[in-house]
Structure 1
Amino acid sequence: MTNTTADDRQTPPHLSGKVSDMPSTTTTTPPGAPAPPVAHRLLVPAAAAVTVVLWGSAFIGIRSAGFDYSPGALALGRILVGTITLTVMAALARKLRLPRGRTLAGVIVWGVLWFGLYNLALNAAERTLDAGTASLLVGLAPILIAVFAGISLGEGFPARLLVGIGIAFAGVAGIALATSSGASSGVSVVLGLAAAVVYAGSTILQKRLLPQVDSLTMTWLGCLAGTVACLPFTPVLLDELAVAPTSATLSVIYLGVFPTAIAFATWGFALTRTTAGRLGAATYAAAPLAVLMSWALLGEVPTPVALIGGTLCLAGVLVATLRLR
């Protein structure tokens, strides 16, 4: 049974023929009616900000857990914790209702790709991929999202979006240059590229499905589908859990609760109410945040090039996502 919520009543951009330049709710204010409260208008940017901050922190968590958990075990442990957390969130919100037919099949496919395949590819790539190359490859995803959304969702190619993405990607390239150690292998680069493609494709698929299913329900079911797909890694997870230090296991739990459950829930909420291209561009802010968090939490002092790159990332996000008044 499909929920009937504000998420469901959204008109997809590729059907409406017109996309707003700014994240906004899908409801419109009738002539003469009072404008929505300021707090309501700030919900979408606030949700996007939560996603970006938590995804930025994920780099720290992956680095902390990645030495003691293999790619498959880390992916399963993270999304298993995420599924448990999302089940509680969906139950409290009374969203534990299944869509039907093609919508349910689409959500399952999306979950296997986004939560399962993406995590596996990225975890495997980062075993031998240096931080700079990893950030550069993942930084391709928002560009692909903008291209895919412009073609398949009818979002077009707004000049400010393209300019902002270009500026932000230049910033990612600067961070990559500053953090690269030259330790990347060809296989890892291919896996990193695959992760970026899955990231972009999953975003477009999610945007298409959101008019038919509530965003929290979709996130919960998708994470559950990804968990089921990763169950073959259960023996490895149990073996590594028995010998891993407490700090690594706590990092896995953190990754599951915050960058997975909460961040993907706020991502879905924001994606329902804005364009895929602009929300994808906003995620460029995660790169400089990761640099600052590494500096604060791990004592990894960023180079001047990395700081300049981070500044460019933030400038590009502002150009791409904010509407001139």
Structure 2
Amino acid sequence: MKFNKTLFALAATVLLWATAFPAIRVALEGYGPAQLSFLRLAVASLALAAVAPALGVRRPERADLWRIALAGGAGMSAYQLLLNWGEVHVPAGTASLIVAAVPAMSAVLAACFLGERFTPARAGGTLVALAGAALVGVSGKESGYTAAAWAVLAAACSQAVYNLTIKPLLHRYTGLEVASYAMWAGTALLVPLAPSTVRAAFGAPAGTTAAVVFLGLLPSAAGFVIWGYAVARLSVTAATAALHLVPAVTLAVSYLWLGEQPRPVAVLGGLVTIAGLVLLNKPRAMGSRRLGRAAKRSVSRLTRRGGTTDVQP
């Protein structure tokens, strides 16, 4: 049986991004949400800086720096702060179910600000996905859960803003370059947290520090590199469809690693979200010849640009 490197890379991406949610819960046992955010981004930034020359990452143009700063602030700094704070009370698997709504939020922003067409099917899929995320958000009854769930939902909104911001950049840079620029910008914005992070590191258990290093090196740095490899060799539909597996894998990993058992209502909300995303991404009917030409153009564009994603952990 022939080894398929592309499918292996896609599976590795799903696994890495799925394990990030429970790893955050472990890291929070030794670090505050703010310190975890800075340290994770710093580790990822150093790793990407080390491999950037070998991967051909170019310097960005001066005119694009403001957009890169906005992308880093929304998709890296704000996303990490909100997600980490939310996971103080929200189980890892539940958080992944809420974050799964990012593509739906991205579609709404793209329709509002980029003029992308919003067909009835896309509108219906978006509404269903957002309804599922809201159902997950109100599924808990513990003190602090609801506010934390809305913080995770706000993190998903930040990621959607990131996706909107980077679209123009992807016409001039590869997906890996854009992710690297945003990672470095997001880290720079959180530098004021460095002193408190260093103090926290001296008192944190070794296991929690290892979890932070894992988050920075694998889901953040390696995850984007491997994702870029996979998506450059597949169609957008095939690549992003695999990301629908992230919540399911997260639930399984969270159960095995942390013993978390999600509420049935949360699982139902997650299924509703995934159903909405399937409807949202359903391609319009077209002839086989037209579909073939569209697929070839899609792969060609991705090969040149390196691809990107609507979801990150």
Normalised to the residue count of structure 1, the TM-score between the two structures is 0.70
Distance, in Å, in 2 between the alignment partners of 1:59 and 1:142 is 18
Name the counterpart of 1:80.
42
Contact 1:68 1:240 in 2 (8 A): yes
CA distance in 2, matches of 1:159, 1:184: 37
- Classify 1:142/1:184 alpha carbon distance in 2 versus 1 (closer, same or farther; 3 Å): farther
Residues 92 and 250 in structure 2, CA contact (< 8 A), matched pair in contact too: no
User: Which residue, out of 260, 265, 271, partners 1:300?
Assistant: 260
**1:247 equivalenced with 2:207 (yes/no):** yes
Deviation at 1:104, TM superposition (A): 2.7
> Are the equivalent residues in 2 in contact too, given 1:129–1:189 (CA < 8 A)?
yes
How many angstroms apart in 2 are the aligned matches of 1:159 and 1:266? Answer: 34
| Structure 1 residues 290 and 267, CA gap change in structure 2 (3 angstroms) | same
| Residues 102/187 of structure 1: CA separation in 2 closer, same or farther (3 Å cut) | farther
RMSD after superposition: 3.7
Aligned counterpart, 1:100: 61
CA distance in 1, matches of 2:235, 2:167: 10
**160, 182, 189: which is aligned to 2:142?**
182
CA contact (8 A) 1:83 1:261 kept: yes
Amino acid at match of 1:71: P
Letter in 1 for 2:107: A
Q: 1:321: how far off?
A: 3.6
Which whole-Å CA distance do the structure 2 matches of 1:153 and 1:268 have between them?
24
Task: Look up the match of 2:22.
Answer: 60
In structure 1, how many angstroms separate the alpha carbons of the residues matched to 2:66 and 2:103? 25
Question: Which moves more between the two structures, 169-178 or 136-145?
Answer: 169-178
In structure 1, runs of 5+ residues without a counterpart are 1-38
Q: Of 78, 87, 92, which residue of structure 2 is paired with 1:126?
A: 87
Superposed, 1:114-263 pairs within 5 Å as 114-129=75-90, 134=95, 138-166=99-127, 168-169=129-130, 172=133, 180-184=140-144, 188=148, 191-263=151-223
Aligned partners of 1:164, 1:190: CA distance in 2, in Å? 21
Distance in 2, Cα, partners of 1:132 & 1:197: 18
- Cα separation, 2, equivalents of 1:266 and 1:168: 27
1:89 aligned residue (32, 46, 51):
51
C-alpha separation between the residues in 1 aligned to 2:128 and 2:200?
42
| Contact 2:103–2:277 (8 Å) recurs in 1 | no
Which 10-residue stretch deviates more, 45-54 or 196-205? 45-54
Aligned residues with identical type, % of pairs: 31
In structure 2, what is the Cα distance between the partners aligned to 1:138 and 1:318? 15
Distance 1:111 1:73 in 2: 17
Q: Residues 211 and 274 from structure 1, CA distance in 2 versus in 1: closer, same or farther, beyond 3 angstroms? A: farther
Q: Which amino acid aligns with 1:75?
A: S
Per-residue CA deviation, residues 59-99 of structure 1 (Å, 9 max, x unaligned), is 1011001121011110111011111221233222121x212
The aligned length equals 281
Task: State the SS of the aligned residue for 2:16.
Answer: helix
Instruction: Show CA shifts across 1:185-224 (max 9, x none).
Output: 7764664443232111111111221112222222212111
Letter in 2 for 1:149: A
Structure 2 CA distance for aligned equivalents of residues 194 and 305 of structure 1: 20
More displaced, 53-62 or 184-193?
184-193
What letter is aligned with 1:183? S
What are the superposed Cα offsets for residues 275-320 of structure 1, whole Å, 9 maximum, x if unpaired? 7x99888755432222111122223345555555555555554444
Q: What amino acid is aligned across from residue 27 of structure 2 in structure 1? A: A
Render the CA deviation track for 1:150-184: whole Å, top value 9, x for unaligned: 23334322444445455555655665566x24322
1:278 and 1:203 mapped to 2: Cα distance? 19
Please say if residues 73 and 236 of structure 1, whose CA atoms lie closer than 8 Å, have aligned partners that are also in contact: yes
> What is the one-letter code of the residue matched to 2:113?
S
Q: How much has 1:230 moved relative to structure 2? A: 1.0
